[in-house]
C-alpha cells in the first residue's frame, strides 16, 4: 500500500512539472515572430531582403540580395543604405552612443527627450561574403514598432535610376519578455508546480497516517 502511494505521488508530481514546461514553451511559441522576407523588382533589379525578428539591446543581422532581373546574376557595387524609423518614448533608454553619430534628427534629440518624438537612423550597407549580398547589424535601443528598410540608390558607378526601397515593419518586444526567457517559462510553470507540491504533500500526510494505522 505504501509503495503504491509513493509511486502515485511521484507520477502526479512529474505530470504537473511536464505540463508546466509545456505551458511555458507554448507561450514562448505564441509570442515568437516569423522571419519576414520581402522581394521587389524594379529598374531591372530583383531585390530580396530578409528581416528577422528583433530583440531590444541585441544585434540583428539584416540582409539584402541583389540580382539582375533578366539574367539572375548577382549585382555587385550597388550603393545601399539602411534606414530605421521608430517613435522614441519618454522614459525609454537613450540610443547607444555610436548610433547618435548617424542620427538624422536635429541636435535637440541629443538631449534627454521631454516628449515623444520620431527617431530616424541611416547607415551605409556594405557588400560582404559573396557578390550581390549586402548586410548590416542593427541593435534596437527600445521596444515598439520599427519601420526598417533598404534603399538601393544605384547599382553601379555613373548609373542613374529611380531609388528602390524594400521595407518591413517589425515589433520589438519589451525587454523582460526576451532577456528573462528562462524565468518567463518558469513563471508559466509555477501554478502546475504548486499543484504538484500540494498533491504530493497531501499524499505524504496520508502515507504517514497510513503508516500508523497499518
pLDDT digits (tens, 9 = 90+) for 107-129: 444 555 567 788 999 999 999 99
Shared domain check, 138 and 46: yes
State mean pLDDT over 141-163.
Answer: 87
- Give the list of residues 6+ apart from residue 182 with CB closer than 8 angstroms, or none: none
**Long-range contacts made by residues 186-193, C-beta under 8 angstroms, separation at least 24?**
186/20, 186/24, 187/24, 188/20, 188/23, 188/24, 188/27, 189/17, 189/19, 189/20, 189/21, 189/23, 189/24, 190/20, 191/20, 192/16, 192/17, 192/19, 192/20, 192/23, 193/16, 193/17, 193/20
Read off the pLDDT of residues 45-86 as tens digits, 9 standing for 90 and up. 999 999 999 999 999 999 999 999 999 999 999 999 999 999
Shared domain check, 205 and 122: no
- Give the list of residues 6+ apart from residue 64 with CB closer than 8 angstroms, or none: 47, 48, 49, 50, 80, 125, 133, 134, 135, 150, 152, 166
Shared domain check, 123 and 23: no
State mean pLDDT over 147-166.
Answer: 87
Give the domain CATH number at 89. Answer: 2.60.40.10
Indicate the pLDDT class of residue 183, thresholds 50, 70 and 90.
Answer: very low
Which structural domain range is residue 14 located in? 2-31+180-213
State mean pLDDT over 126-150.
Answer: 95
Confidence at residue 33, expressed as pLDDT on a 0 to 100 scale: 82
Of residues 209 and 67, more confidently modeled: 67
Shared domain check, 77 and 111: yes
pTM of this structure: 0.61
Q: Within 10 Å of residue 149's Cβ, how many Cβ atoms?
A: 18
Shared domain check, 126 and 25: no
Shared domain check, 126 and 61: yes
Looking at the structure of the chain, the number of domains it has is 2
Amino acid at each position: 500500500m505504501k509503495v503504491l502511494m509513493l509511486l502515485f505521488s511521484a507520477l502526479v508530481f512529474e505530470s504537473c512539472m511536464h505540463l508546466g514546461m509545456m505551458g511555458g514553451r507554448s507561450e514562448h511559441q505564441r509570442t515568437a515572430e516569423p522571419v519576414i522576407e520581402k522581394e521587389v523588382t524594379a529598374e531591372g533589379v530583383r531585390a530580396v531582403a530578409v528581416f528577422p525578428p528583433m530583440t531590444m539591446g541585441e544585434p540583428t543581422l539584416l540582409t539584402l540580395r541583389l540580382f539582375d532581373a533578366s539574367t539572375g546574376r548577382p549585382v555587385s557595387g550597388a550603393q545601399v543604405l539602411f534606414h530605421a524609423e521608430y517613435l522614441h518614448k519618454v522614459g525609454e533608454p537613450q540610443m547607444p552612443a555610436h548610433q547618435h553619430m548617424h542620427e538624422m534628427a536635429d541636435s535637440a534629440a541629443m538631449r534627454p527627450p521631454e516628449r515623444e518624438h520620431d527617431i530616424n537612423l541611416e547607415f551605409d550597407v556594405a557588400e560582404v561574403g559573396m557578390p550581390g549580398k549586402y548586410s548590416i547589424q542593427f541593435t534596437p535601443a527600445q521596444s515598439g514598432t520599427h519601420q526598417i528598410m533598404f534603399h538601393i540608390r544605384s547599382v553601379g558607378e555613373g548609373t542613374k535610376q529611380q531609388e528602390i526601397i524594400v521595407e518591413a515593419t517589425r515589433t520589438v518586444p519589451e525587454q523582460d519578455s526576451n532577456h528573462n526567457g528562462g524565468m518567463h517559462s518558469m513563471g508559466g510553470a509555477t501554478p502546475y508546480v504548486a499543484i504538484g507540491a500540494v498533491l504530493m504533500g497531501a499524499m505524504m500526510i496520508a502515507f504517514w497516517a497510513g503508516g500508523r494505522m497499518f
